[in-house]
Amino acid sequence: MKSAINRASHLGNDGETLRCWQEWEIAGRERRIVLCVETALEMRPGFPGFDPAQLDALVDQATELMHASPSPIDSLRLIPQH
């Protein structure tokens, strides 16, 4: 289930703009907020273009965004750009 997006968020990564949003995962009465980050980076090790340093930098940037959020974020989800 996707939550309403209350503001557009973006991360910069090597000159690219990446779209970010929050989703809610609800199981019974428990709620988890997930920060979703869409990326054009190759995330599959062994595939052409995969760069672990770029992926680590993206995770670091997303983690900073999680900590700066006014609401607590429980986890991070990286989503390949289509």
Tell me the H-state helices in 1-82.
Answer: 52-68
User: Which residue's structure tokens are 């991360």?
Assistant: 11
Whole-model pTM?
0.75
Pairing state between β 16-27 and 30-39: antiparallel
Domain ranges of the chain: 9-80
Q: Kindly give the confidence (pLDDT) of every residue in the chain, 82 residues in length, as a single tens digit, with 9 standing for 90 and above.
A: 343 333 345 555 453 547 899 999 999 999 999 999 999 999 999 999 999 999 999 999 999 989 998 889 999 999 998 7
